[in-house]
């Protein structure tokens, strides 16, 4: 697949994709915080779900996943495989929120 030259349409695609990835990161972090409040003394399991799963957190996580995938579809024609780095950057905040909760729950 050929990467498009940066023009006005391409810049708008990049801006929209970055906004979607930022929204995805924010929504997923909010879902993690809601689950952390619902499970204050239980660490998040790595391959399964925590004991209590509030429906609001499930909704936010679903919306975050949709925004992440849509952002990837918008960004890939403009940026190519550089999109994978932006995907990784979008998962840093939720991962840090999970690690912080697990450290506090174990201690």
- For residue 9, being part of any structural domain is answered with no
- For residue 4, being part of any structural domain is answered with no
- For residue 89, being part of any structural domain is answered with yes
- For residue 5, being part of any structural domain is answered with no
3-class SS shares of the chain: helix, strand, coil, % to 5: 75, 0, 25
What CA–CA distance (Å, rounded) separates 44 from 83? 28
- For residue 101, being part of any structural domain is answered with yes
Per-residue model confidence as pLDDT tens digits over 18-45: 999 999 999 999 999 999 999 999 998 8
- For residue 93, being part of any structural domain is answered with yes
Domain holding 69, by residue range, is 18-106
Per-residue model confidence as pLDDT tens digits over 42-61: 998 878 888 999 999 999 99
Q: How many CB atoms lie within 10 A of CB 90?
A: 23
The pLDDT-based confidence of 9 (bands split at 50, 70, 90) is low
Q: Do the Cβ atoms of 32 and 98 come closer than 8 Å? A: yes
- For residue 45, being part of any structural domain is answered with yes
For the chain, the domain total comes to 1
């Amino acid at each position: 697949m050929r990467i498009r030259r940066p023009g006005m349409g391409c810049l708008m695609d990049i801006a929209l994709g970055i906004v979607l990835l930022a929204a995805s990161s924010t929504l997923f972090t909010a879902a993690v915080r809601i689950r952390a409040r619902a499970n204050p003394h239980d660490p998040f399991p790595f391959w399964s779900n925590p004991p209590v799963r509030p429906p609001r957190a499930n909704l936010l996580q679903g919306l975050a996943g949709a925004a992440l995938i849509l952002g990837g579809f918008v960004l890939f024609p403009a940026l190519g495989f550089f999109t994978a780095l932006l995907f990784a950057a979008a998962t840093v905040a939720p991962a840090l929120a999970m690690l912080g909760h697990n450290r506090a729950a174990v201690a």
